Chain A
Amino acid sequence: MQIPSHLQNSRTGQAMPNSAGHLLSTLRTFKMAESKTVLEVMDIQKSFGSSRVLEHINLDLKAGEFVSFLGPSGCGKTTLLRIIAGLEQPDYGKVIKQQIDITHFNTAKRKCGIVFQNYALFPNLTVAENIAFGLHKKHWSAQEIQFRINELLNLIELPNIAEKYPNQLSGGQQQRVALARAIAPNPDVLLLDEPLSALDALVRLNLRQKIRTIQCQLNLPAIMVTHDQEEALSISDRVAVMNKGVIEQLDTPHNIYYKPQTRFVAQFIGSMNFIQTVVVDTHRLKMNEHSLIEFPHLNFAQDEHYEIAFRPENVKLVAGNESSTEYLNLAVRIVNTEFLGAKRRLFCVVQNQNHADDNMLQVDVDHQHIAVVQDGMYLQVPIRDLHVFDSRGHARC
């Protein structure tokens, strides 16, 4: 099932190209598509002073789903999370949780568990007291609280630290306790504000799996803010890629990678090579005299600029020029190479190109596919793996 377009993208009035079916693989469904919506964010706008931080944000979160907000710093992802948490008030728009408008609820009433980047454990309380902090005496008996603490300590696999103080724990342990504290009162939604940024690389890998496992076990809908794309793509059900206060694309990690809808998403996620082209006629583009590319499904406007793009791993490196309609052939000069284990990364410049536009192309090739690397070689890019972006940065395919 396709996600309704108004939820996929906060850009207003962008027509979704329906003819983009020739891409290698497009996942048309995601796991939670059929689940019921827990949290809905409608047309949120926010500015600080004169700078607009969020513009027309629309978003939904299904039951048990894990959504990541991914973007460069200053893109408004943390502000959006804080608005959902009630720590910030939007200028316009609504936050709806389980059919109730909570836009003007204070944080205490929202039942959102929050995990902060700097852990934010109460330094004067022990781990057990920290976890029990949100368990109000009104609703929990002393026995239940004790049971809950033990249950959560077992869940985060740190059963013996109940009496320790936060400063006696490592960063990873502290963050796990913070997670336990956030989920202790059975919140409706879990909000993670860059939970792994303050940790070492190895702890980070470990903990992100743990967070995902716990989130799945509890079937707890969660939103995570992160600037680490690997983190976002690896454990999320859907990723919202944000830039300058706008959600550029809200989609499954698979689609974010293989079917970026904007130029920003394409170059922000993974690596992508862009090449300027000139329109020849309605179905054909050219990048220099030798290479004409035909896109029978697309209609190009004469006075528009288009860019074609491809991923480094979709390329074959060949010695001779074999022209074909299936492939785009580019004569390149190899400038530098890097050894990456199973692959070799080549940096090359397209030949016969005017010097003003000497952007470096990045190509990853398997070792067994190149017998010899010489200065002048040809890149072979399958036409079906090409992305085309118009001058506004929207994907045409």
Chain B
Amino acid sequence: MLNQSAADALLSSQTAHRFRYSLRSSAVLFVAAILFTLSLIAPLIVLMQSAFLNEQHQFVGLDNFTAYFSNPALISSIFNSMWIAITAMLITVSLASVYAFALINCNIRGKAFFKTVAFLPILAPSLLPSLALVYLFGQQGVFKDMLGEVEIYGPLGILISYCFWLFPAMVMLMMGAFRHIDQHLIEASHALGKNTLQTHWAVTFPAIRYGLVSACLVAFTYVITDFGIPKVIGGSFNMMALDVYKQIIGQQNMNMGAVISILLLCPAVLAFIFDRYQSRHQERYQNFQIQPYRLRANPRIEKVLTVFCGVISGGILLIIVTAILASFIRYWPYDLSMTLNHYRFEYVDGGGWASYFNSIKLALFSTVFGTMIIFIIALFSTRFKAHPLLKNYVKVLVLLPLAVPGLVLGIAYILFFNAPQNPVSFVYGTMTLLVISTIIHYYTVPHLTLTHAIQQIPNQLDHAAQSLGYSHWTMFRKVYLPLTFPALCDVLVYLFVNAMTTVSAAIFLYSPDTNLASVAVLNMDDAGDTVAAVAMSILILLTSCAVKLLHWLFTRKMMASTQRWREQTHS
């Protein structure tokens, strides 16, 4: 009886577990949620709103949309955008698939070289291929005769530029996909009496299907929301994204720009939702015991694939080398002597060297602050207990930037931050806003990279550290930081390179004081100074290359010095 009452008393006194969620992590995530809402959700809402307003900010219902759809010139650009996007997607994805297959599943020589070359375009501003194409096939192009009657200005140039620009992303996605093919499944299928074609249909295709669809969606969205390339090499060929650019920059017609932005947002969001939906089905393939598939030694196929990779990487190198040469040649194609004059930028628009240093500043700020913020949010949203509602809200928000094209984000920012009634409108046109927009625009990929790296660290380490009396902070410094360091380096480089090369959002947000190199490329070309634009592109390319090289050297050295403990975690 005594025991019973004592036990009851004990039980009723245990109320200490009421706060199941740590206050600190909830607070951090709450701040993150507010920041996201202000810098992503609110601008998008304003964007949606303004599509239904006229220039006097009066509600006009669907009038803007009807105006858009009754304009034949604008309608034709929808059609143009569609077929260019689909064609570029089909070409790039199929080329990239074969290329990735050769790199992953086949024993060809020179893999390191082919891989490096395939990733080069990522380091260049998106306009570089178009500019190089002008030098190769334009009015004064070296190979102009090869095209005959066809003009490079127009769909052809646009398609080639997109293929060049999209190629690295597609190769990366497809390489991931081809790594998922299990040698044992291929063997099992053969053993069950299927021939090569049936085997690949039954095993290879399902394994890469997810990657293939993702690649297609990414390619399609990229093309449909980009305006830089058609602007440089499109001639009179109109595309949807280019219309937005013209409406906003040329005619200051914000409402029409908002309408087209929303139309552009639709395919991007649909693609995003579809991708999420099918990634759930991908879980079935989560088998950690995969032995990657290797094609059996077959000299003929290897030769064919080597030639294929050679041709592709030759094309990529041709474009890059042309751009480099063009930037040093005095007066293409009449005076081929070398000069550094084009790098002086004194007599051209666009901001010259100042814009280059602005870009560096933007890249550094975005990299440092972006990595810090992303790491903190990734850590708190994966590891610490917070209120589930808050956690899920942040989880949705961090994925959202992937679905918002830079162009749409830029316009939403103009509308939101340029509004006179906004208390923080003073940031408009400053470096701060550019940094914010860059971080938000490129948020998702680094977040996923870091989340993945953090999830690789076993939870038990936390418990062990706690039982040994270490604080979260020591744990963070001694365990999380070293273990996620390679991922952090990847994120740093990703943010830096993207901040250097980005045009899409930045072009709507810069002011004369904060001109950027990548924007300068577009403006220089617009003003007719193609050679200065090329020189600036090359500067950007070289800077990205240098950073990437630094990263590579650093990672290699670090991996070598920490190899002893890393080997065990990665084996």
Which residues of A line the B interface, CB within 8 A? 85-87, 106-114, 116, 118, 120, 122-124, 133-134, 136, 165-167, 178, 181-182, 184-185, 191, 198
Contact = CB atoms under 8 A, between A and B. Distances in A.
B184 interface: yes
Most chain A CB neighbours (cut-off 10 Å) among B190, B191, B285: B191
Nearest to A131: B192
B293 to A, nearest CB: 12
Is the contact region of chain B dominated by helix, strand, or loop, or is it mixed? helix
Contacts of B190: 86-87, 106-108
Contacts of B188: 114, 116, 120, 122, 178, 181
Contact of A181 (B192, B202, B286, B291): B192
Nearest to B185: A120
A108 B194 contact: yes
A122 B198 CA distance: 14
Contacts of A198: 289
Interface in B182-211: 182, 184-185, 187-195, 202-203, 206
A181 B206 CA distance: 19
B202 A107 contact: no
Nearest to B193: A108
Given A122-B203, A122-B206, A167 B193 contact: no
Contact of B289 (A112, A118, A181): A118
A27 B203 CA distance: 47
A200 to B, nearest CB: 15
Nearest to A167: B284
A134 B284 contact: no
A185 B287 CA distance: 26
B8 interface: no
A166 B188 CA distance: 15
A138 to B, nearest CB: 10
B381 to A, nearest CB: 26
Q: Which 3 A-B pairs have the closest CB atoms?
A: A134-B192, A120-B184, A107-B190
Nearest to B284: A123
Contacts of B202: 122, 133
Is the contact region of chain A dominated by helix, strand, or loop, or is it mixed? loop
A87 B188 CA distance: 10
15 contacts: A86-B190, A108-B195, A111-B193, A113-B191, A116-B188, A118-B182, A118-B287, A118-B289, A122-B188, A124-B206, A136-B193, A167-B283, A167-B284, A182-B192, A185-B193
Nearest to B281: A124
Contacts of B194: 108, 133-134
A167 B286 contact: yes
Contacts of A133: 189, 192, 194, 202
B284 A166 contact: yes
A182 B190 CA distance: 11
Contacts of A110: 191
A185 B185 contact: no
Contacts of A113: 191-192
B193 A134 contact: yes
Contacts of B191: 85, 87, 107-108, 110, 112-114, 134, 182, 191
Contacts of A191: 191
Contacts of B286: 167
Contacts of A86: 190
A123 B285 contact: yes
